[in-house]
Structure formats: structure tokens, C-alpha cells
């Protein structure tokens, strides 16, 4: 976690550990989409044929139905809808492969040295980054006001066409629904490989901060980490981790050491 005005590192733990980032990937998906300066009101069909990772993944969104590119971005960021993210890549100039290439080119241009993308949803464990790199991405996101607006939307009813139907969506970050938090941008993520992840630009005390948590256990763990750090900043009070969380971190650390040992051998 860093102070966005001073660049002071407020708290850090293994910031250069390379890890899968799950749906935090979708923040880059949205940035690459906006960089292309495509019409936001264009109606586009939901298409997932390019994304092999989507096979067998459930979604309420019907393949072939249409929504605007802006609504695709909304669902990608706010509710982490995989079919929306895959569709944004499909409808990119040059197609899906060009989109993935653009994601990696953007990461390189930003100086995200330990970041790599192979697909736009985050379902693949080969989409990897570090906490330090993701802070760079959070800083870059300030240049895209629409990302903050869409990602921090509480809930939305979206109307699809061909066929016509409506679906209600809610933000995947519980803190967005809490009036005590002022969140400028957020993205959650989860896969078994990545654990639970959360990145935010938010306010803690009088500070505007970039907050990154990767690979935590339990749906509420990133929220708990955010609340603990905010309490510490605002009051100086340290709230201890649960024994379960400590054990999970120890286990993940041992697994990482084992992987490194296997690689060296």
C-alpha cells in the first residue's frame, strides 16, 4: 500500500512475489479497450469463442445477445463478468490475439516488469503480476476517469437485446456497498491458484492510497486486510490476523519455496 501523493510505502509484504492475479486482470482489459478509443455506444454481441478458458464457466449472460461496449466495460469491472471481458477482446481491432498483445505491450510501456497476460479474464493462472506492478497499474488508471466510475458502481440493471432480457448485477467488492468507504477505483479477483485478490484506489484517513492484496484465503480476507490497514492508519491500533489466515500464508510460502526448489533441481 502506498500514498498516491507522496509515493511513500505505507505497508509492504513481498511486493515482488510473482503470483496469478485472477480477475484483477480485467483492469488491464479495460485500459486496453479504452486506449483503442472505440465507440462506447456500439452494440456488440457476447462472444467467447476465442477464450478457451471460458469452457464450462457458468454465466447468466447469453452468448450472442448484445449490449453496448460501455456496458461490457461496466460488467467487466463492476461484477467481474467473464463473458463481457472475453467479448471486449474479441471486438478489438485485429481481434483477440491483437488484444492480448496490446495488454502485454501496455504492461511493458508502464514498466510492469514482472507482469504477463495470456487472456483477458483472469481465469488462467498464467496471468501473473506482483503487488509492486499492480500499484503501477493503479496509478496509470487515474488517467481513465471512466474506469473509476464503472468499477465503483454499486449495482446496475443491464438490458440486453437479441434476445431482449434484463439482468441485475452488483459490485463484487463489498466495501463499495459500505458508506464509510470512499473508493475511487476497485477490482476483485479469485481463482484457486490466485486466492482472493483486491486492488483499490481509496481514501484511508486523510491519505489517498493504492491498495493491493494478493493470494488471501476466504472471501472476506481482502476486506479484512483493508479494514485492518485503515484502522491502523486512522487510529494506530493493530488488529491481529486470524490463526487461519496466518496458517494459509505459511502454507502458501512453503508451496512457493517448493516450486523454486523444483525449478532449480
As a whole number of angstroms, the distance between CA 161 and CA 216 comes to 38
C-alpha grid cell, residue 204: 484511508
Helix, strand or coil for residue 189? strand
Do 153 and 173 touch, CB atoms closer than 8 A? no
- Three-state DSSP at 103 gives helix
> How distant is the alpha carbon of residue 9 from its chain centre?
21
State the average pLDDT over residues 204-224: 86
CA angle, 221 then 17 then 176, to 5°: 30
Q: Cite the active site residues.
A: 23, 26, 80
> pLDDT over 90 for what percent of the chain?
79
Residue 127 · residue 21 · CB < 8 Å: yes
Q: List, for residues 72-118, the tens digit of each pLDDT value.
A: 999 999 999 999 999 999 999 999 999 999 999 999 999 999 999 99
Q: Which residue in 205, 227, 81, 60 sits closest to 151, CA to CA? A: 81
Question: Which grid cell sits at 168?
Answer: 441485475
Question: Average pLDDT, stretch 221-242?
Answer: 78
Domain boundaries of the chain, sorted by first residue: 2-264
pLDDT value of position 258 = 44
- Write down the residue that cell numbers 501496455 correspond to: 106
Over its C-alpha atoms, the chain yields an Rg (Å, rounded) of 18
The Cα 126–Cα 258 span in angstroms is 18
CA distances from 17 to 139, 156, 157, 253 (A): 19, 36, 38, 10
In this prediction the pTM is 0.89
pLDDT (mean) for 229-256: 64
- Contacts of residue 265, defined as CB under 8 A and 6 or more positions apart, other chains included, come to none
How many other CB atoms are found less than 10 A from the CB of residue 53? Answer: 20
5 among the known binding-site residues?
A: no
3-17, 50-64, 235-249: segment of lowest average pLDDT:
235-249
Q: What is the pLDDT of residue 1?
A: 92
Rounded Cα distance, 12 and 135, in Å: 11
Greatest alpha-carbon pair distance for the chain in Å reads: 57
Instruction: Give the whole-angstrom CA distance, residue 56 versus residue 185.
Output: 30
Q: Is the pLDDT of residue 257 over 90?
A: no
Q: Is 114 helix (H, G, I), strand (E, B) or coil?
A: coil
C-alpha distances (whole Å) from 202 to each of 61, 76, 142, 210, 226 are 30, 20, 12, 7, 10
Q: Measuring CA to CA, which residue among 217, 223, 251 is closest to residue 239?
A: 223
Homologous superfamily (CATH) for 2-264:
DD-peptidase/beta-lactamase superfamily (3.40.710.10)
Give the model's pLDDT for residue 249: 55
8, 80, 159, 215 from 165: Cα distances, Å: 48, 19, 6, 36
Amino acid at each position: 500500500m502506498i500514498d498516491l501523493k507522496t509515493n511513500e510505502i505505507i505497508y509492504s509484504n513481498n511486493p515482488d512475489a510473482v503470483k496469478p492475479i485472477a480477475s484483477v486482470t480485467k483492469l488491464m482489459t479495460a485500459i486496453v479497450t479504452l486506449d483503442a478509443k472505440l465507440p462506447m455506444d456500439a452494440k456488440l454481441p457476447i462472444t467467447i469463442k476465442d477464450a478457451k478458458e471460458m469452457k464450462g464457466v457458468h454465466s447468466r449472460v447469453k452468448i450472442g445477445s448484445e449490449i453496448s461496449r460501455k456496458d461490457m466495460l461496466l460488467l467487466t469491472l463492476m461484477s467481474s463478468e467473464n463473458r463481457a471481458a472475453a467479448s471486449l477482446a474479441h471486438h478489438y481491432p485485429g481481434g483477440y490475439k491483437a488484444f492480448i498483445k496490446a495488454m502485454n505491450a501496455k504492461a511493458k510501456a508502464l514498466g510492469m516488469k514482472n507482469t504477463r497476460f495470456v487472456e483477458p479474464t483472469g481465469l488462467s493462472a498464467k496471468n501473473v503480476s506482483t503487488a509492486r506492478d499492480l500499484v503501477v497499474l493503479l496509478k496509470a488508471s487515474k488517467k481513465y476517469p471512466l474506469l473509476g466510475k464503472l468499477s465503483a458502481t454499486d449495482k446496475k440493471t443491464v438490458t440486453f437485446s437479441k434476445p431482449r432480457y434484463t439482468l441485475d448485477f452488483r459490485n463484487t467488492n463489498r466495501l463499495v456497498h459500505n458508506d464509510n468507504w470512499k473508493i475511487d477505483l476497485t477490482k476483485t479477483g479469485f481463482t484457486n491458484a490466485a486466492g482472493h485478490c483486491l486492488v483499490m484506489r481509496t481514501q484511508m484517513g486523510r491519505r489517498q492510497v493504492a491498495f493491493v492484496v494478493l493470494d488471501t484465503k476466504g472471501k472476506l480476507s481482502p476486506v479484512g486486510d483493508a479494514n485492518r490497514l485503515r484502522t491502523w492508519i486512522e487510529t494506530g491500533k493493530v488488529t491481529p490476523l486470524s490463526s487461519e489466515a496466518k496458517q494459509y500464508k505459511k502454507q502458501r510460502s512453503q508451496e512457493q519455496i517448493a516450486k523454486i526448489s523444483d525449478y532449480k533441481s
